[in-house]
């Protein structure tokens, strides 16, 4: 039911001005946390009527957002710690060697490189996977005749696009979207699955067909770097290379058998990662394992905080648009500000479920322009919850649309400043990589929108 007695207040207009200002700053490719903090203060002053209230609102909102993201921050930290341990042991090198033996042609190599990046990104996230695959598997791909730009496309679209937007295993992106939309992450992963698969498959196939000639072009002038690790793996490294994928495979089986989803599935994967890391440190470094584990965990949390620190500040602002407002501003605010705006739009404009889908994709794309991908998820998630209830559309589908567009644009397949890691390791121009990705991604967006229209 739409509240026909809804009256917009100065607080609503101030929040809308904040959203538009943040989007404008993102479009200008500038950082937004300072703007978010400023509007948190102003909203607190207007909403609570005192300067003291504004100051307290800034802190309460940040703490609320931090609590919402604590689980996924810990997950990313522990997964990163594991990847550092495996690299020190040389296990990562051993795990990649079998894949190199089937790279017989550039076309086959392109798909193998993409699928490998997809699988590793699901468990390790794209950032560590880029370094891992780029340092070990990329030389084999180039040796097979794959063009460096084509290799960058495969790693980028499958990793930072398909895997990161779906995020089936770690569930970082769906957890943020779901938290802002007041639904469970499993709702997004199950009901939104057709959208994630259509987007990933259509984009990958389009990229391959549009660049088939370039993919098959052999670059004889490319210098093949030494593929050996600095130190050859010892017995512990060899053992961990076999134990690690087996234990993660066991996690997948346990998830299916016991129907573990959402936080339970994330806890299983994260717990397995930290236990593997401890076992690897002990078997590889013996008495130095105590210091090694501390080092890996410290590095892991530093990496996770670097990613999520701005997301927490941005999320603090956008959580005011949803159910977080009552915990931040007080119980006198029972409905999020974006909720009220969505209801007002539904009452005063020809907004329907299809226009809501267009709006989600547009907002997701705009928020992705900051090169993060994750910073816009609190907004798209909150919009999904409010627009879904206002036009009686599927909230998980709308949230999935916003998540897909935000991460494909900003997570880095479109904006050049989000492509630097892949471009650097493949020695290609990030602007050229962005141009190559643009058409396949837009084709994927169109196909995903059409499918969403049938699922709303």
SS (H, E, C) the chain: CCCCCCCCCHHHHHHHHHHHHHHHHHHCCCCCHHHHHHHHHHHHHHHHCCHHHHHHHHHHHHHHHHHHHHHHHHHHHHHHHHHHHHHHHCHHHHHHHHHHCCCCCHHHHHHHHHHHHHHHHHHHCHHHHHHHHHHHCHHHHHHCCCCHHHHHHHHHHHHHHHHHHHCCCCCHHHHHHHHHHCCCHHHHHHHCHHHHHHHHHHHHHHHHHHCHHHHHCCCCCCCCCCCCCCCCCCHHHHHHHHHHHHHHHHHHHHHHHHCCCHHHHHHHHHHHHHHHHHHHHHHHHHHHHHHHHHHHHHHHHHHHHHHHHHHHHHHHHHHHHCCCHHHHHCCCCCCCHHHHHHHHHHHHCCCCHHHHHHHHHHHHHHHHHHCCCCCCHHHHHHHHHHHHHHHCCCHHHHHHHHHHHHHHHHHHHCCHHHCHHHHHHHCCCHHHHHHHHHHHHHHHHHHHHHHHHHHC
pLDDT band, very low/low/confident/very high, at 158 (cuts 50, 70, 90): very high
In tens, the pLDDT along 362-418 reads: 888 877 765 567 777 887 888 888 888 878 888 889 999 989 998 998 777 887 656
User: What is the reported pLDDT for 347?
Assistant: 66
Least confident window among 250-264, 324-338, 426-440 = 250-264
pLDDT band, very low/low/confident/very high, at 303 (cuts 50, 70, 90): confident
User: What is the reported pLDDT for 263?
Assistant: 67
pLDDT band, very low/low/confident/very high, at 226 (cuts 50, 70, 90): very low
User: What is the reported pLDDT for 224?
Assistant: 35
Mean pLDDT over 246-267 rounds to 76
Least confident window among 115-119, 266-270, 376-380, 416-420 = 416-420
pLDDT above 80: residue 338: no
pLDDT above 70: residue 220: no
User: What is the reported pLDDT for 207?
Assistant: 92
The model's pTM is 0.67
pLDDT band, very low/low/confident/very high, at 2 (cuts 50, 70, 90): very low
pLDDT above 60: residue 251: yes
């Amino acid at each position: 039911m739409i509240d026909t007695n809804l009256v917009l207040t100065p607080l609503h207009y101030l929040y809308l001005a904040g959203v538009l200002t943040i989007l404008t700053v993102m479009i200008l490719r500038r950082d937004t946390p300072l703007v978010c903090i400023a509007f948190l203060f102003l909203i607190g002053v207007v909403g609570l009527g005192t300067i003291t209230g504004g100051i307290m609102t800034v802190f309460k909102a940040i703490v609320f957002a931090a609590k919402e993201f604590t689980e996924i921050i810990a997950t990313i930290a522990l997964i990163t710690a594991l990847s550092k341990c495996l690299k020190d042991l040389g296990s990562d090198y051993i795990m990649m060697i079998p894949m190199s033996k089937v790279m017989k042609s550039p076309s086959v190599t392109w798909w193998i490189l993409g699928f490998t990046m997809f699988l590793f990104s699901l468990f390790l996230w794209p950032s560590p996977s880029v370094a891992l695959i780029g340092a070990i598997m990329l030389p084999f791909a180039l040796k097979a005749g794959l063009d460096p730009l084509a290799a960058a496309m495969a790693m980028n679209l499958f990793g930072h696009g398909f895997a990161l937007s779906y995020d089936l295993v770690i569930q970082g992106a769906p957890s943020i979207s779901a938290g802002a939309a007041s639904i469970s992450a499993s709702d997004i992963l199950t009901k939104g699955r057709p959208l994630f698969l259509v987007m990933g498959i259509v984009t990958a196939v389009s990229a391959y067909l549009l660049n088939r000639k370039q993919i098959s072009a052999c670059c004889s002038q490319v210098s093949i770097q030494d593929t050996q690790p600095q130190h050859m793996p010892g017995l512990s490294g060899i053992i961990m290379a076999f134990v690690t994928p087996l234990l993660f495979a066991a996690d997948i089986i346990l998830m299916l058998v016991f129907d573990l989803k959402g936080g339970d599935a994330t806890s299983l994967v994260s717990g397995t990662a930290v236990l593997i890391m401890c076992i690897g440190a002990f078997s590889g470094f013996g008495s130095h394992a105590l210091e090694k584990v501390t080092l890996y965990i410290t590095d892991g949390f530093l990496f996770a905080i670097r990613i999520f620190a701005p997301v927490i500040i941005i999320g603090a602002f956008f959580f005011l648009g949803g159910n977080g407002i009552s915990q931040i501003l007080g119980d006198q605010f029972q409905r999020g500000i974006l909720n009220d705006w969505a209801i007002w739009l539904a009452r005063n404009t020809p907004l329907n479920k299809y226009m809501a889908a267009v709006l989600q994709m547009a907002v997701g794309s705009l928020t992705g322009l900051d090169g993060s991908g994750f910073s816009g998820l609190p907004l798209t998630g909150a919009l999904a919850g409010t627009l879904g209830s206002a036009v009686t559309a599927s909230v998980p589908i709308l949230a999935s649309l916003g998540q897909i567009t935000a991460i494909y644009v900003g997570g880095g397949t479109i904006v050049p400043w989000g492509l630097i890691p892949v471009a650097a390791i493949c020695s290609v121009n990030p602007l050229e990589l962005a141009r190559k990705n643009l058409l396949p991604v837009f084709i994927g967006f169109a196909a995903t929108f059409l499918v969403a229209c049938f699922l709303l």
